């Protein structure tokens, strides 16, 4: 019997968002006997209804609510109202993610100590260490069925991986394999194994890829302690005279305003909506927005140093056959300032279908130089560079002049590359080019960053309240019963895809919240 809680029940934990952070936190708390309401802005589309078609799937799943952009980043010029490609649906971005599940490296939790001072970079050590995270990383890997952990075999290498591996070998790279992926390489946890279908970004129709939609949420619902309300767009978080949060105001499917009371509120709307919500919840007591005594809410927005490298060969590759992210080279992820930048980057295979390749290979380009690239589509291999970008205070989410359909300011995303980001990206382009040319590429295309799929840092963790928004448990410094549970907690971005760290933090946060509730502290 699935739970249904009354809107006046102020004993529940309200979680905003059902993705890697919110969905995991909801299930973990439900398993511990805590009553939870997850409010998800998007609809509930089950995995059997996903669509193997790039644009149709985008219409079905993508967050396309209004946002504005500013800054010198190319995304502002080419996709001015689409700063991010994330999901508005139950499951959040765990619906469309590639599945890459990598732990942060030890030094990536202490970048201020390791990298030193960089002009313009707001570097800060996390208030947690790798050693403290390790037990939670292990639990997350088991929960998600990450390949190459828990005796799970790696996925088989597809054509795109074969090209990557051959090139990596030629360059002398030592750590190249088919990745640590949260995709069943064998049937596990009552879910299918991978059928190499090639539409990971459109949601896995086999359920082989881990997603909160069809793993965490049904498990949580089975306990009778978890209620998920889709089509519920939270507009504001409310608080009492003492500053304690008391509940949230949201708009339901019919557009009617609803109020859900709460003992605790956890915000997990991804790194653009989460700070926007705190800022839009400003009040007489908190004129700069909730939990913003540091002024850091919305700041330090990171999207990883990204870029892609596609290459054309004189023989077929058919890179789109199989998992969208099918392999990795980890040699450049280390910190080696001799290369001309701090931090490192991963090289991960990537494929797009023809429709998205036409849209993203070189936005705005036209003519034969562009079309001859697409002519080589079936002979193309590709990789995505994911690297640590520098937190900058001026890269931030702020409230736009534009308003949503309920009259609330939408988010503006401002971003400029840091010189370290540019140096790292250029190095990655050069290495990707060298890798593909080493195995016979006739043309190579360095591709600019897409609308951001990794969005981080805008409610960051800090030891001291003046440096960030939350403490090492994701609890806001200012308000004891207000938590942040998504990637906006990240103090720095590391070189690794963020989902495993978000899930691990949520497992850990659930323990903290449950203990605090049991001890009646919160």
Partner 1 sequence: MSHHHGHESAKVSRRVFLQRSALGAAAIAITPAGALLNSSEAWALDVKGLKPETMKTLILVARDIFPHDKVPDRFYAVAMKSYDEAAAKDPAAKASTEAFVAALDGAAGAGGYAGKAWEAERVAILRTHEADPMFGAIRGGLVVSLYNNPDVWPIFGYEGESYSKGGYLERGFNDLDWL
- Site pattern 439..478 for partner 1 (x: CB under 8 A): x---------------------------------------
Instruction: Report the DSSP pairing between strands 305-312 and 264-267.
Output: unpaired
Task: Give yes or no for residue 32 binding partner 1 (CB under 8 A).
Answer: no
Which segment (27-35, 124-132, 189-197, 238-246) binds partner 1 by CB under 8 A?
189-197
Whichever of 167 and 493 has its CB closer to partner 1, that residue is: 167
Longest dimension (CA), the chain: 70
Task: Give yes or no for residue 355 binding partner 1 (CB under 8 A).
Answer: yes
Q: Which residues of 444-479 are buried (b: 16+ CB within 10 A; e: fewer)?
A: bbbbbbbbbbbbbbbbbbbeebebbbbbbbbbbbbb
Question: Measured from the CB of residue 156, what is the shortest distance to partner 1 in angstroms?
Answer: 6
Task: Give yes or no for residue 249 binding partner 1 (CB under 8 A).
Answer: no
Contacts of 216-219 with CB under 8 Å at 24 or more apart are 216/23, 216/24, 216/26, 216/27, 217/18, 217/23, 217/26, 217/27, 217/38, 217/90, 217/91, 219/27, 219/30, 219/31
What does DSSP assign to residue 464? S
487: which residues sit within 8 A by CB, 6+ positions away? 20, 21, 270, 271, 454, 455, 456, 457, 498, 501, 502
Whichever of 52 and 64 has its CB closer to partner 1, that residue is: 52
Options 353, 448, 487, 498; binder of partner 1; rule CB under 8 A: 353
Percent helix, strand and coil across the chain, each rounded to 5?
A: 30, 20, 50
Task: Give yes or no for residue 512 binding partner 1 (CB under 8 A).
Answer: no
Task: Give yes or no for residue 378 binding partner 1 (CB under 8 A).
Answer: yes
If one counts every other C-beta atom within 10 angstroms of the C-beta of residue 365, the result is: 11
Question: Measured from the CB of residue 442, what is the shortest distance to partner 1 in angstroms?
Answer: 13
Task: Give yes or no for residue 113 binding partner 1 (CB under 8 A).
Answer: no
Whichever of 29 and 439 has its CB closer to partner 1, that residue is: 439
Options 366, 401, 407, 521; binder of partner 1; rule CB under 8 A: 366
Whichever of 174 and 315 has its CB closer to partner 1, that residue is: 315
Question: Measured from the CB of residue 113, what is the shortest distance to partner 1 in angstroms?
Answer: 43
Whichever of 167 and 343 has its CB closer to partner 1, that residue is: 167
Residue pair 244/231 in contact by the 8 Å Cβ criterion = no
Sole residue written with tokens 């800054």:
71
Site for partner 1 in 301-340 (CB under 8 A): 315-318, 320-322
* Integer Cα distance of 131 and 64 in angstroms: 39
Task: Give yes or no for residue 166 binding partner 1 (CB under 8 A).
Answer: yes
Which segment (59-67, 134-142, 245-253, 352-360) binds partner 1 by CB under 8 A?
352-360
Which segment (12-20, 248-256, 347-355, 410-418) binds partner 1 by CB under 8 A?
347-355
372: which residues sit within 8 A by CB, 6+ positions away? none
Whichever of 196 and 426 has its CB closer to partner 1, that residue is: 196
Options 82, 130, 249, 358; binder of partner 1; rule CB under 8 A: 358
Site for partner 1 in 190-209 (CB under 8 A): 194-199, 205-206
Kindly list the distances between the CA atom of residue 403 and the CA atoms of 85, 272, 424, 471, in Å, as whole numbers in the listed order.
Answer: 20, 15, 36, 31
Site for partner 1 in 41-100 (CB under 8 A): 52-55
* Integer Cα distance of 361 and 129 in angstroms: 38
Residues binding partner 1 (CB under 8 A): 52-55, 156-159, 161-163, 166, 194-199, 205-206, 315-318, 320-322, 353-355, 357-359, 364, 366-368, 370-371, 374-375, 377-378, 439
């Amino acid at each position: 019997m699935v739970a249904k809680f009354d809107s006046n029940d102020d004993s529940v934990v309200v979680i905003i968002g059902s993705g890697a952070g919110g969905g995991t936190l909801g299930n973990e708390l439900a398993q511990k006997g805590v009553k939870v309401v997850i409010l998800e802005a998007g609809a509930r589309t089950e995995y059997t209804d996903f669509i193997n078609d790039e644009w149709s799937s985008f219409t079905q799943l993508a967050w396309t609510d209004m946002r504005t952009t500013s800054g010198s980043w190319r995304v502002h010029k080419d996709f001015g109202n689409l700063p991010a490609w994330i999901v508005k649906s139950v499951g959040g971005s765990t619906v469309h993610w590639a599945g890459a599940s990598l732990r942060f490296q030890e030094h990536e939790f202490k970048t201020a100590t390791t990298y030193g001072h960089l002009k313009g970079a707001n570097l800060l050590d996390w208030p947690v260490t790798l050693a403290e995270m390790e037990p939670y990383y292990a639990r997350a890997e088991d929960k998600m069925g990450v390949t190459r952990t828990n005796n799970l075999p790696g996925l088989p290498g597809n054509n795109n991986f074969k090209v990557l591996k051959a090139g990596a070998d030629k360059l002398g790279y030592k750590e190249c394999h088919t990745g640590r992926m949260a995709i069943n390489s064998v049937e596990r946890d009552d879910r299918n194994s991978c059928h190499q279908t090639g539409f990971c970004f459109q949601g896995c129709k086999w359920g082989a890829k881990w997603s909160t939609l069809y793993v965490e949420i049904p498990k949580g619902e089975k306990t009778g302690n978890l209620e998920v309300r889709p089509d519920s767009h939270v507009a504001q978080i409310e608080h009492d005279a003492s500053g304690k949060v008391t509940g949230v105001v949201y708009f339901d499917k019919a557009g009617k305003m609803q109020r859900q009371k709460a003992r605790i509120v956890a915000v997990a709307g991804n790194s653009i909506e989460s700070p926007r919500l705190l800022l839009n919840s400003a009040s007489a007591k908190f004129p700069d927005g909730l939990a913003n005594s540091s002024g850091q809410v919305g700041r330090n927005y990171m999207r990883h140093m990204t870029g892609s490298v596609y290459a054309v060969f004189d023989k077929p590759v058919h890179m789109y056959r199989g998992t969208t992210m099918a392999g990795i080279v980890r040699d450049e992820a280390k910190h080696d300032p001799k290369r001309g930048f701090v931090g490192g980057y991963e090289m991960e295979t990537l494929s797009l279908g023809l429709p998205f390749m036409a849209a993203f290979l070189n936005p705005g380009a036209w003519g034969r130089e562009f079309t001859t690239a697409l002519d080589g589509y079936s002979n193309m291999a590709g990789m995505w560079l994911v690297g640590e970008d520098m937190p900058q205070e001026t890269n931030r989410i702020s409230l736009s002049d534009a308003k949503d359909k309920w009259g609330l300011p939408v988010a503006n995303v401002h971003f400029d590359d840091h010189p370290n980001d540019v140096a790292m990206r250029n190095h990655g382009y050069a290495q990707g080019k060298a890798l593909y040319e080493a195995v016979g590429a006739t043309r190579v295309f360095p591709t600019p960053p897409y609308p951001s799929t990794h969005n981080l840092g805008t409610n960051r963790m800090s030891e001291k309240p003046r440096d960030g928004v939350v403490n090492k448990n994701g609890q806001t410094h200012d308000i004891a019963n207000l938590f942040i549970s998504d990637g906006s907690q990240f103090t720095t971005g590391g070189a690794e895809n963020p989902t495993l760290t978000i899930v691990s933090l949520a497992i850990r946060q659930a323990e903290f919240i449950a203990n605090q509730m049991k001890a009646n502290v919160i």
